[in-house]
Structure 1
Amino acid sequence: MRIPFSYWWNKVKEDGSFAQNYAVVLSGTGLNIGIQVFVTPILTRLYTPEAYGVYSLFLVVSTNLALIASLRLPQAIMLPKAESEFRALIRIGVVASAALSFFYFVVLFFLKDQFLSFFNADKLIPYYYLIPVMTFLVCMNQYFGSWQYRNNLFKKSVAVDTSISIGVRGFNLAYGFLSKGTLLGLVFGDMLGKVFGLILSWKLILKERIKGLYDGVSKNDLLQAFKTYRVYPFVNLPGVWLEMFSGQLPVLFLSFVFGLPTVGMLSLAVGIMDIPKRLFAYSATSAFYKKAVDVYESSKNGLGALVTKTLYFLLAFIVIPYSVIMVFGKELFAVVLGGNWAASGSIARYLAMYYVIELLCVSLGSIFYVLRKEKVLFRFQVGFLFVRLMVLMVSYILGFSVDATILALSIANVVLFSTQLWVVFDFSKLNGYKYNGIVWGAIIISVAFMFGLRFLMHEFGLM
């Protein structure tokens, strides 16, 4: 049954609805991505692959540490029904983040040379202290972001994020031009953006509610809140960290084996490939999670319909962009970003093999949390890490090239994400084989069309 456009338009206009919240987040994310698309071809001519490599390695280290420091509690912020429980939970998170960030500083003070030299990042050694600072900033941005979504402050949150995105890109351009592409220019821009993001969120969005954190919260309230949500630091956190770490293994591996310029090539490829993921998956995740919680509380059998609608919506927008990259990636990167980045386009072609499936898993993965299937997700995350680690070890032993290593990882990821997506369908009481078949059918048809287009362009001398 076809749903008329007027139905969706009315849903978008309905205050506080899933459609409106998603539309607001999507529009803000789309604007931020538009800024990135406009600025990136300029940045790639200001900053070298090594500068992108430094930035990528810095982010990998700081985000991994931030995930641990946050105790994964930002994910639980939307769940407490009582305001006192919410205040206790966020206070636990902020104190833990600050304490662990300071601990990281102490450890790096003594081990910075050994740690950074291992990844061929000696140029980062004088700036080691920026890593724990960035760690704390990431944690606080996560808490503030979840806090805003908890209170349905989507419009204000998007306005702040967009303002910060414009400011960061402007800083990167100006600093890159004046410093002639210094290695740490991208790092400085990201850190400043997070600092100003916190300030704007505090002053413009959460000002009155932040005062509530200082209301009386007893030690018993803190202990009870931690006990209630202990699954996040003790079960959810290890699994999510394993998933993040296994996903970022290529950065660490390439840095160790091939050096920072190669990491820069991978970093740019991932950044471009993440555009559809950021536009659709990350925007959908927050709104989908909240809607899935509401649907499951009202009707245990309603998740299947929500998953199906979200699946079709995402497929309609993501299959073609990734198919274009898979077929034309190398040429597009060379033309748009500069000839020095053609190798990055080759890497992007391999990544596109599994990005459609990964995007769907990211968007629909909240099902594991809604159904309290965190242990199942944890098994997947352990499996992901093990398989990826084995692939990289074999690549290192056999002396694979960069392209061969990325191709092997991409094939492994296709199998891993397809299996996880099947389980998501099954938990939603949908036929996993049927809906996986729909996904792969859409991918195969789109890629075949792009290869046909490439053949015609070659025949007519357009390539």
Structure 2
Amino acid sequence: MDKFKNWLNHKLPPGSFIRNVATLMTGTTFAQALLILIAPILTRLYTPDDFGVYALYTSILGILSVIACLRYELAIVLPEKDEDAANLLVLCLLICSVTSLMVLVLVALFRDSFALLLSAPKISFWLWFLPASLFLTGTFQALNYWSTRRKQFKRLAIRQITQNSVTAVTQIASGASLNAGAGGLIGGYIAGQAAATGRLAWRVWKEEKEKFYVSIDGKSLKNVLILYRNFPLYTLWANLLNVASHMIIPVLLGYFFSPAVVGFYALGHRVLTVPMNVAGGAIAQVFFPRANEAKINGNLEQITFDVFKKLVAIGLVPLALIAISAPDLFSLVFGKQWAAAGEYVRYLSIWIFFQFISSPMSTVYFVMNKQIQLLISNICLFVSRIGVLLWGGFVGNDLFIIKFLGLCGAIIYFGICFYIMKVIDIPIKKVFGYLVKQSLLAAPYICLPILFLLINTGETIYLLSVVLSLGVFLIINRSIFFK
């Protein structure tokens, strides 16, 4: 055990960028794997209707979570003084309390009408629990960014594992012993939220309560409320547009085409984004406070370009191999009826690649106080997706929509990268040069699968060549993951 710890500390020094990323990714991966493992159990304890009500509940909560703290939580990382950050944390908790109470009033007045509007009368009763879920979500968001500021990433990884573990145990127990229906799924989710957020709050209070005793006062709360007003004025709307731009795709695909098309898109998008979100989300969370420190120290350009290079090097070859092999891969793993989802993935991959690069770097918008520009980029993303969906819908060609969604997404997310580089004075020639260099280095790993595809060697040999190429890439480039 000591030898392993010594090796780990040598390869991933405590406090290093990659060690912190690995800590977050480990917690998230374990937590997600747990939910995947219990899925076969839950499907035997709960009906599709139960899962439908649960999915609707979490979707509503996901939208409301954007407004829980009016996005002031994102500002917690930014102040130079911990005293100002502590006041922002308390401000977020106060705003979250008010937001939750307002939602409670709306639920009391309109829950039945809202449930009928959604064509889901069964959810009416469970909407009573929405304010509590929203308060727990907002509290976590505030504590999450406080812990990010303090670089307490192990604390956050444990929180994720705690939430999913308690959720899993409660949902299984409720379904097996109480036959609780949708209430078992929703209750399990809330129990996981409460346990994890409560534990995180206790750790923050136990370890850092002195900072709050000496820092909080009404004048300071008012000062940070005004100083960081761009977050509710611009970032809030940018995030709402971002959520809307993702939600509108399955809605309009379902309007113009069959539910099967929505299913193909949903599966393909999920397979692409889940691993990328785990890696990209961890990198973004670690990069945010470092970027803020780098701005103060005058080396933001260097740290941002280093992260850009790492993201390109990590994402290019795996996504290119997935794009090449997706139809055959989906047929093998999910069944031949899902080959169309693999075809969608081919064209969505370029969008996801540039999103993977730009999303962690987008925290530079906050560091450089460029929230208006973030709002503009999300407006462009939303409008382009609406335009493509309407155009393709009237043409009556689902693959046309997927191709142009991929193209528009790639252009806009690359535009975000371009703007971020421009703001911090990184020459665009340098960015293009690195992309070309990495594309040339990626070519050998991609050529073998393409060759087998062209000579039609058969599905098995072709997919083995993809796995071989990916394995060789990971072995040869393993140093990327330890820098």
Greater length-normalized contact order (CA 8 Å, ≥ 6 residues apart): 1
Is the CA contact 2:268–2:342 (under 8 Å) kept in the aligned structure 1? yes
The question of 1:68 aligning with 2:67 is answered yes
The question of 1:156 aligning with 2:155 is answered yes
Which deviates the most, 426-435 or 286-295? 426-435
1:380 aligned partner, one-letter code: S
The question of 1:377 aligning with 2:374 is answered yes
Match of 1:456 in 2: 457
Is the CA contact 2:84–2:224 (under 8 Å) kept in the aligned structure 1? yes
Is the CA contact 1:327–1:451 (under 8 Å) kept in the aligned structure 2? no
Q: Please state whether the residue corresponding to 2:216 is helix, strand or coil.
A: coil
Match of 2:146 in 1: 147
User: For 1:11-410, what aligned pairs fall within 5 Å after superposition?
Assistant: 12-14=12-14, 16-40=15-39, 54-173=53-172, 182=181, 186-210=185-209, 213=212, 217-253=216-252, 269-300=268-299, 301-303=301-303, 305-315=305-315, 318-319=318-319, 322-323=322-323, 326-328=326-328, 330-334=330-334, 351-394=348-391, 408-410=404-406
C-alpha change, 1:460 and 1:299, in structure 2 (3 Å) is closer
State the alpha-carbon separation in 2 of the partners of residues 55 and 408 from structure 1.
Answer: 32
The question of 1:419 aligning with 2:415 is answered yes
1:13 aligned partner, one-letter code: P
- Please state how far the C-alpha of 1:80 moved relative to its aligned partner: 2.4
Q: Please state whether the residue corresponding to 2:330 is helix, strand or coil.
A: helix
1:412 aligned partner, one-letter code: C
Query: 1:206-253 CA deviation, whole Å, 9 max, x = no partner?
Result: 434357545573322111111221121112222222222212223554
2:419 aligned partner, one-letter code: V
C-alpha change, 1:100 and 1:40, in structure 2 (3 Å) is same
1:334 aligned partner, one-letter code: F
Is the CA contact 1:49–1:260 (under 8 Å) kept in the aligned structure 2? no
Which deviates the most, 315-324 or 106-115? 315-324
Is the CA contact 2:253–2:389 (under 8 Å) kept in the aligned structure 1? no
- Please state how far the C-alpha of 1:285 moved relative to its aligned partner: 0.3
- Please state how far the C-alpha of 1:93 moved relative to its aligned partner: 1.0
Q: Please state whether the residue corresponding to 1:13 is helix, strand or coil.
A: coil
Please report the TM-score for the alignment, with normalisation by the length of structure 1.
0.80
1:384 aligned partner, one-letter code: L
State the alpha-carbon separation in 1 of the partners of residues 191 and 338 from structure 2.
Answer: 27
Query: 1:72-103 CA deviation, whole Å, 9 max, x = no partner?
Result: 11111122233332222112111111111221
C-alpha change, 1:459 and 1:227, in structure 2 (3 Å) is closer
C-alpha change, 1:83 and 1:308, in structure 2 (3 Å) is closer
1:414 aligned partner, one-letter code: A
C-alpha change, 1:11 and 1:213, in structure 2 (3 Å) is same
Q: Please state whether the residue corresponding to 1:456 is helix, strand or coil.
A: coil
- Please state how far the C-alpha of 1:364 moved relative to its aligned partner: 1.8
2:200 aligned partner, one-letter code: S
Match of 1:3 in 2: none
State the alpha-carbon separation in 2 of the partners of residues 81 and 289 from structure 1.
Answer: 14
Q: Please state whether the residue corresponding to 1:81 is helix, strand or coil.
A: coil
Which deviates the most, 239-248 or 104-113? 104-113
Is the CA contact 2:159–2:196 (under 8 Å) kept in the aligned structure 1? yes
State the alpha-carbon separation in 1 of the partners of residues 446 and 110 from structure 2.
Answer: 48
- Please state how far the C-alpha of 1:67 moved relative to its aligned partner: 1.2
Which deviates the most, 258-267 or 116-125? 258-267
- Please state how far the C-alpha of 1:381 moved relative to its aligned partner: 0.8
State the alpha-carbon separation in 1 of the partners of residues 391 and 362 from structure 2.
Answer: 30
1:355 aligned partner, one-letter code: I
1:366 aligned partner, one-letter code: T
From the CA coordinates, give the structure whose radius of gyration is larger.
2
- Please state how far the C-alpha of 1:306 moved relative to its aligned partner: 2.1
State the alpha-carbon separation in 2 of the partners of residues 462 and 216 from structure 1.
Answer: 59
Equivalent residues, number: 453
What percentage of residue pairs aligned between the two structures are identical? 20
Query: 1:156-215 CA deviation, whole Å, 9 max, x = no partner?
Result: 321232232233344445556678895565544332221111121123454343575455
Please report the TM-score for the alignment, with normalisation by the length of structure 2.
0.77
State the alpha-carbon separation in 1 of the partners of residues 287 and 191 from structure 2.
Answer: 30
Which deviates the most, 381-390 or 128-137? 128-137
Is the CA contact 1:270–1:348 (under 8 Å) kept in the aligned structure 2? yes
Query: 1:101-137 CA deviation, whole Å, 9 max, x = no partner?
Result: 2212322433334444444434323322233332222
State the alpha-carbon separation in 2 of the partners of residues 217 and 341 from structure 1.
Answer: 56
1:359 aligned partner, one-letter code: F
State the alpha-carbon separation in 1 of the partners of residues 224 and 148 from structure 2.
Answer: 20
Q: Please state whether the residue corresponding to 2:124 is helix, strand or coil.
A: helix
Which deviates the most, 404-413 or 150-159? 404-413
Gaps of 5+ in 1: 1-5
C-alpha change, 1:97 and 1:341, in structure 2 (3 Å) is farther
C-alpha change, 1:442 and 1:345, in structure 2 (3 Å) is same
State the alpha-carbon separation in 2 of the partners of residues 462 and 312 from structure 1.
Answer: 24
C-alpha change, 1:386 and 1:57, in structure 2 (3 Å) is farther
Is the CA contact 1:51–1:182 (under 8 Å) kept in the aligned structure 2? yes
C-alpha change, 1:254 and 1:104, in structure 2 (3 Å) is farther
C-alpha change, 1:178 and 1:368, in structure 2 (3 Å) is same
Is the CA contact 2:326–2:342 (under 8 Å) kept in the aligned structure 1? no
C-alpha change, 1:375 and 1:442, in structure 2 (3 Å) is farther
Is the CA contact 2:347–2:403 (under 8 Å) kept in the aligned structure 1? yes
Q: Please state whether the residue corresponding to 1:372 is helix, strand or coil.
A: coil
1:327 aligned partner, one-letter code: P
- Please state how far the C-alpha of 1:42 moved relative to its aligned partner: 6.0
RMSD (CA atoms): 4.0
